[in-house]
Amino acid sequence: MKLTFYGTRGSIPVCGAKFQKYGGNTTCVAIEFANGLLGIIDAGSGIRELGKDIAAGKYGKQQNILMAFTHFHWDHIQGFPFFLPAYDEQQIITIGTMGSGRSQDELREIFETQMQESYFPVPLSRMGATLSFMQSAGTRATFGSIIVDAYPLQHPGGAMAYKFTEGDRSFVFASDVEHGETVDAQLVDFVRGSQLLIHDGQYTPEEMESHRGWGHSSWKHATEVASAAGLSRVLITHHDPDHDDECLAEIETLLNEALPGSALARDGMTLEI
């Protein structure tokens, strides 16, 4: 599996000279599976650039693109109306989520709502691509050789962590999660055995004190989950929009002191699992 990060920011996109190193787009990750399928996690503002890359042939011809959504807060869906493949009449896009109890009609309604005339000039029904909405009430789904497991996270309105497994390789994406006095032991169990954890780290440990109940974690929580699960490193995502490059570089230094080899995800980063 190969991952490319197109958006690693939380809450709202940011731009400017102070946000060049780590990027400013909200959550979007592309997954190239060994079986040829292209997967996408969330459709934050970063999906606009991903769509351009797909249209340009970077990922080859993709008959069906799989989009997995952790949840549907604005920063995780706002880029979808600007996703070029969704306007291709030859394209099939499967939009899926797991464990939230939503029906297929309700899932479609989420995307229809943000593309109502009051908000966007093109309605969902006129985008062009064939959109298939998949809601699994369970916590496991399979797509050929790919297994997707889900675990519910503590976050306002709910969110899901996903474990993607292909062969003997797996990684966990756990954005938008808040821990209690100690880290979630069940999430630790969910992560155990994977090769990589990508974890929410929106706040510093000091900022967490005034952000209880906001549904996010600190980089320290992420290292604790990774270490407890037996992983030697962690990748931090969902950076706060008020954290500029200088601030994030300082956080990355502290992160590496706590768990050497760890890093902050940044727009454009590519890695192999």
Among 76-90, 96-110, 163-177, name the one with the lowest average pLDDT.
Answer: 96-110
- At 99, is the pLDDT very low, low, confident or very high (cuts 50, 70, 90)? confident
Say whether 185 sits in a helix, a strand or coil: helix
Q: Report d(CA 174, CA 198) in Å as an integer.
A: 6
Q: Is the pLDDT of residue 100 over 70?
A: no
Judge whether 27 and 75 are in contact, CB under 8 Å: yes
Class (C level, CATH) for 2-272: alpha beta
Rounded to two decimals, the pTM is 0.96
pLDDT at site 138: 83
Q: Residues 186-205: pLDDT tens digits? A: 999 999 999 999 999 999 99
Q: Residues 132-147: pLDDT tens digits? A: 999 887 899 999 999 9
- At 164, is the pLDDT very low, low, confident or very high (cuts 50, 70, 90)? very high
Give the number of other CB atoms < 10 A from CB of residue 263. 15
Q: Residues 116-132: pLDDT tens digits? A: 999 999 999 999 999 99
* Residue 57 neighbours by CB under 8 Å, 6+ apart: none
Q: What average pLDDT does the chain have?
A: 95
E strand spans, 10-118? 28-32, 38-41, 64-68, 92-98
Q: Residues 237-246: pLDDT tens digits? A: 999 999 999 9
The DSSP symbol for 126 reads G
Judge whether 56 and 66 are in contact, CB under 8 Å: no
Alpha-helical (H) ranges within the chain are: 47-55, 104-114, 185-191, 205-208, 219-228, 245-258
